[in-house]
Amino acid sequence: MNRTQSSWWIVFGFLQLTSIAYCQEQAKAGENSMFIEIRQPDTSFFSAYKADKDFIYQSNLVDENIFWLTIKEQLGRFFETTSDLFLALPILFQVLVILMIIAFLFVAITKTKVYKVFYTQDKPAAYVSDAALTEEQELDLQIAIQQAEVMEAYRNAVRYHFLRVLETLELAHLIRYSREKTNRDYGNEIINQEIQSEFWFLSNMYNLVWYGYAPVNRENYKQLADRFLRFCRNIHEEH
């Protein structure tokens, strides 16, 4: 055997050994892969992180407090600027500005009746009387009440009864009628607490029926009418 043949036999033997080793490794790897177990993480693991704001990396998240913080900052800047301008004015102008603000608040509160929201619920709602007593005095209220009762217009009848109450109180000098006054204003003018308390009740009933459109049938109207009549009769007897 010459040198060339010996070299070929050596290369052939090396390739054989290499292929056998490779096949053994593949078989071993195939046997081991049969026993690999895939682990699945618990779903609560992902839920915990999804609920944590620190792990939310979206770029469009907006803090809920940013809106209110912005408003607060803008108002702070406005008042700071206004305060600086006010302090820059001469003392006389500062006094005039304060007086103008006080006058504006006074007119706004008194003309719009805002102050009446602080009244207790025992007193009736502050409805301006839509009935001109001076005009209604030209009518015979008793005839108007009777006509309304015949027509079963009990809502109108209650209104006429309340007009008679105002008329009776004015004739007894317990109130002074004015188109600008409310029923609450009339009640506040009455000094006698018993009369005032009964007036609050009748005024509330009138407001419920006339302004609140509370239903009135024959039975409850008769009870209410008797109370109106008894009130006027007591005023006539005492005054």
Domain ranges of the chain: 66-112, 133-238
Q: Calculate ∠ Cα 36-38-39, nearest 5°.
A: 130
pLDDT number for residue 152: 93
Q: Residue 119: pLDDT band by 50, 70, 90 thresholds?
A: very low
Backbone angles phi, psi at 234, to 5 degrees: -65, -35
Q: Calculate ∠ Cα 233-206-219, nearest 5°.
A: 75
Contact 235, 172 (CB under 8 A): yes
- Widest Cα–Cα separation across the chain: 158
Average pLDDT value for residue range 206-217: 92
Measured in whole angstroms, how far is the alpha carbon of residue 2 from the centre of its chain?
110
Q: Residue 203: pLDDT band by 50, 70, 90 thresholds?
A: very high
The pTM score is 0.46
| 128 SS3 class | strand
pLDDT number for residue 36: 55
Task: Flag whether pLDDT at 98 surpasses 90.
Answer: no
Average pLDDT value for residue range 92-107: 78
Q: Residue 61: pLDDT band by 50, 70, 90 thresholds?
A: very low
Q: Calculate ∠ Cα 63-65-69, nearest 5°.
A: 125
Average pLDDT value for residue range 128-150: 69
- Average pLDDT over the chain reads 73
